[in-house]
A and B are shown apart, each in its own frame.
Chain A
C-alpha cells in the first residue's frame, strides 16, 4: 500500500514563472502530483487540490495540507503546512497551457510510531504538477462499451480502455474465464481476463471507488464447470481415494429467463437443477504502485474475489491506488457454491451494466461490499485464519466509524450477529467475507 506516499506529502519551494495566466484563472479544483527522486509515474503521490485566488494571493488545500502562496505574472510560489500548522513544503513553478509545474522541497512526514524526539528527516527535492480536474458532463451519461481487448494482468501499466465520470452508466460484457466469446484479442498472460480498465475521472489514491452492479445476465446458453475437488477443500485421504470420471460432462444448460441451470443427466444426478445466481468472479482496480498480478490472483485491489453475492444489486467499495482507479471485471459465474471447491463456478460470458461513484479520502485496507441485506468486508490473504482476522477487523473499523461505536459496542454487536462466508479456497490467495445484517444496524443510533 502506498501509505508512504501519503506520509510523504510535504511542501515545496521555488519560484517559476507563469507566462500567461492571471491569478483569477487559478481558482478551482486541481489534481496535485508530487514526484520524488525514487518515484515513477505509478508511484507518484496524487492529491485533491483546491485553489482560491485573491489578487495575486493564493490559498486553499493540497490533500490534508493547507496551502498559501502567490501568483505573479506566470510564476507561482506555494507553501504547504500540515494539519498542525507546521511547514511541510515549498514549491515554485510556472504555468504552461492549463497546468502548473515546477520543483520544490518537501519535509518527509515522520514515520508512524516514531519518537517525538527523533530528528526531523532532511527535506526531499521533488518535482510537482497541478492539472485541472476534468469537468464532469452536465448530466450522467450511458455508454455502450463493446470491449476491443481483454487484459489478464492487474497493473497500473494497463492503458485505460475508456474514461467515465462518477454517475455514468456502462453497458458492456465480459468473456468467460478462458476468454471464450472473445471477438477481440487478449492482453497479458493467464486466464480470468478482464474487461476495461475503466478510468474513473476524479478518483485519486486514498479515495474509494464505488461500483454498483446493475445488471449481470448470461449471454450464452451453456456454462462449463470442473468436477474434481480442489485439495484445499477436502482431506488428503478423500483426495487420494476419489475416483473421478475423466469423461464427466460438466457443461450446464443455463436458462436465465427461468432462472435455472441444468446439468446433463448422469446416473446419480438424473436432473440436477440449481438456481441461476449470476456473479462476477473478478472485479478489480489497479494494484498499488508497480505491483502486477495475473488475472486469477486477488488482493486488496480485489481481482478474483469469487464471492457468490457479487451479483446484480450489490455495491462494491475499492481502495483507489492510482488516478482513475482503473476498474476491471470478468470471470463471471452463472452460479457458484462457497469456496469454488472444484476450482471453477459455472463459467460463462455475461452482459454487465454498472455505474460508478467516488468517495473522497475514505480508502479502507481492502475491498468492501453492500447488498440489500448485509454490509460485507473481504479479507484476502495467504491463509484462511488470516483472512478471517482481516475481514473481521476491516468490518469492525468500518462500522465503528460509520456508526460511532466503541470497541466494546462493536464486539457486542459482532458477538450477536456477525456472519462469515468462505468465498475462495482454491486460488493463489484465500478470501473470507465477514458481514453484518443491515436490519440490525438500523436499530443503532448514529
Chain B
C-alpha cells in the first residue's frame, strides 16, 4: 500500500485550459504539484484575489499571498498537518511555477513523510495549473482502442482524456489479444486505455461504473487443466488429461448460455450460464512500480472477480494524476478462483463512466453490486488476502456508517460473506462482502 506519487508533469499540459486568466485574476481552482527530491505531491488549491492580496487553501494549508505583475508569493500555514512554508513563483500563461521552502508531512495522507520530510523545512519546486473545467454536460464518447498495453505503469501514455460523468463506449480484446473481428493485438491480459480521468489526483478514489459488459463474438476458449494451487499434490500427479477436451466454447447470448463447441459424450447437453465479466480493471500502480498485466495489486489489475459484471461499480485508489484507468481480459463466465488458469476468454463490448471521489483513498480496490458492498484483499497468500479484505471492508463500513469496532465486528459476524476470486495468478484475491439489505437505513 505504497503512497508514492510520481512525477506527472508531462501530463499537466493536458489539463483543460478553459480557465485562462484575464489580467491578474488568479481566483479559482488550481492543482498544485510540490516536489522536493522525489515525487511531487498533489494538492487541490483554491485562490481568491482581492487587489494585490491573495487568500485561499492548498490542501489543508491556509494560503496568504500577494500578486505583483507576474510575480506570485504564497505563504502556507499548516492546519491538520498540512505543509507550511513559502512559495515564490512566476505566472506564465496559465501556470504559476517557482520554488520555495516547505515543511510538513505532505498533507497527512498515508502517514508517510512527504515534502519536507519529518517536519524539517526543505527546498521545493512547485507548479500550479488551473483545475480542469468539465464540459457543460457529460459527453458520450465512442472510443476505438488502438493501443493494447500489457504493463501496469504510470509510464503508459493515456489513450483518451475523459471527465467524470462522461460515458465511454468501447470494447476489449480477449486475454490473448484477439478482438471481435479476429484481429490479433498485444496479448497477455492486455488492457485498453489508459483513460486519463480529468481532475483525479493521488489520494482520490475513482468509481468506475460498468454500464455494459457483453460478449461481442460467438467463441471463447478455456483451459482444461486444473491449477496446482487448487488441488492436492496427489490429485495433480495422478490426473490424466484428455486432449480431446478442447476448451472451445460457442456463446449463445440470445439464450444466455455457453456450450462446448466440441463436446465430449458426457457434455453433449452441458451448458453454463453467461455472466460476462472483466477480469482486468486497473489504474496505474503507485510510484515507479510496473507489473505485467496478469498481475494484481492495490491498483487492481487481474482481479478476476466474477461479479465484476455489468451493473457493478469498482472503486480504485488513485496513485497518479488522471488515475490512468485500464481494462481487459473479459470472461463470458468463470467459476471461483479461476481454477483452470483461464475462464471462458473472449472479447467484450464495454460501456463505462467514472465518478471522482475527492480526497478518499482506500488501501485496495473495492466494489459495489446491487446486493453487496465488496472489498478485495490482494496478497501473497490466501490467509493474508482474507485479513486484508476483511479489514478494508470493516474500515470502509465503519467510516460510512459511523460504526464502532464492536458494532462492525458483530455486523460482520452475522452477515459477512467471502468469495475466493483468484487462486492462480501472481497474487491471490479474496473478496469480503456485506449485504446492502442489512445496511439499508442504518446511516
CA distance A403 to B268 in the complex (A): 13
In the complex with contacts A268-B404, A415-B222, A232-B387 CB distance below 8 A: yes
- Which A402-446 residues have C-beta < 8 A from chain B? 403-422, 425, 432, 440, 443-446
A439 to chain B, nearest CB (A): 9
- Find A238's partner among B244, B338, B394, B403 (CB 8 Å cutoff): B394
Query: Are A422 and B409 in contact (CB-based, < 8 A)?
Result: no
Question: Which of chain A's residues has its CB closest to B241's CB?
Answer: A408
Query: Are B414 and A418 in contact (CB-based, < 8 A)?
Result: no
Whether, in the assembled complex, A270 has its beta carbon less than 8 Å from a beta carbon of chain B, the answer is yes
Whether, in the assembled complex, A226 has its beta carbon less than 8 Å from a beta carbon of chain B, the answer is yes
Whether, in the assembled complex, A263 has its beta carbon less than 8 Å from a beta carbon of chain B, the answer is yes
Chain A contact residues, CB within 8 Å of chain B: 225-229, 232-235, 237-238, 242-245, 248, 250, 261, 263, 266-274, 335-342, 344-346, 383-385, 388-390, 392-393, 396-397, 403-422, 425, 432, 440, 443-446
Whether, in the assembled complex, B374 has its beta carbon less than 8 Å from a beta carbon of chain A, the answer is no
Query: Are B264 and A409 in contact (CB-based, < 8 A)?
Result: yes
- Find B245's partner among A226, A250, A346, A409 (CB 8 Å cutoff): A409
Q: What would 24 A/B residue contacts be, using CB atoms closer than 8 Å?
A: A226-B410, A229-B409, A229-B412, A232-B387, A234-B391, A235-B388, A242-B405, A248-B410, A261-B414, A266-B406, A268-B402, A274-B414, A341-B412, A385-B229, A389-B235, A390-B232, A393-B234, A408-B225, A412-B260, A413-B270, A417-B335, A420-B336, A420-B419, A422-B418
Query: Are A388 and B222 in contact (CB-based, < 8 A)?
Result: no
**Complex interface bits, B401-443 against A, C-beta within 8 A gives 1, otherwise 0:** 1111111011111111111100100000010000000100110
**Residues of chain A with a CB closer than 8 A to B441's CB:** 271
**Residues of chain A with a CB closer than 8 A to B411's CB:** 269, 272
**Residues of chain A with a CB closer than 8 A to B333's CB:** 416-417
**Residues of chain A with a CB closer than 8 A to B418's CB:** 338-339, 420-422
Chain B contact residues, CB within 8 Å of chain A: 222-226, 229-232, 234-235, 239-245, 247, 258, 260, 264-272, 333-340, 342-344, 381-383, 386-388, 390-391, 394-395, 401-407, 409-420, 423, 430, 438, 441-442
Query: Are A238 and B395 in contact (CB-based, < 8 A)?
Result: yes
CA distance A110 to B6 in the complex (A): 66
Q: Which 3 pairs from chain A and chain B are nearest by CB?
A: A415-B340, A337-B416, A408-B245
**Residues of chain B with a CB closer than 8 A to A443's CB:** 269-271
Question: Which of chain B's residues has its CB closest to A273's CB?
Answer: B438
In the complex with contacts A234-B390, A274-B438, A443-B271, A336-B401 CB distance below 8 A: no
In the complex with contacts A274-B414, A385-B229, A408-B242, A445-B265 CB distance below 8 A: yes
Question: Which of chain A's residues has its CB closest to B258's CB?
Answer: A416
Sample of 5 more A-B contacts, CB < 8 Å, known A235-B387, A238-B390, A390-B232: A227-B410, A267-B407, A272-B410, A274-B414, A416-B335
**Residues of chain B with a CB closer than 8 A to A404's CB:** 266
Most buried by B among A396, A416, A443: A416
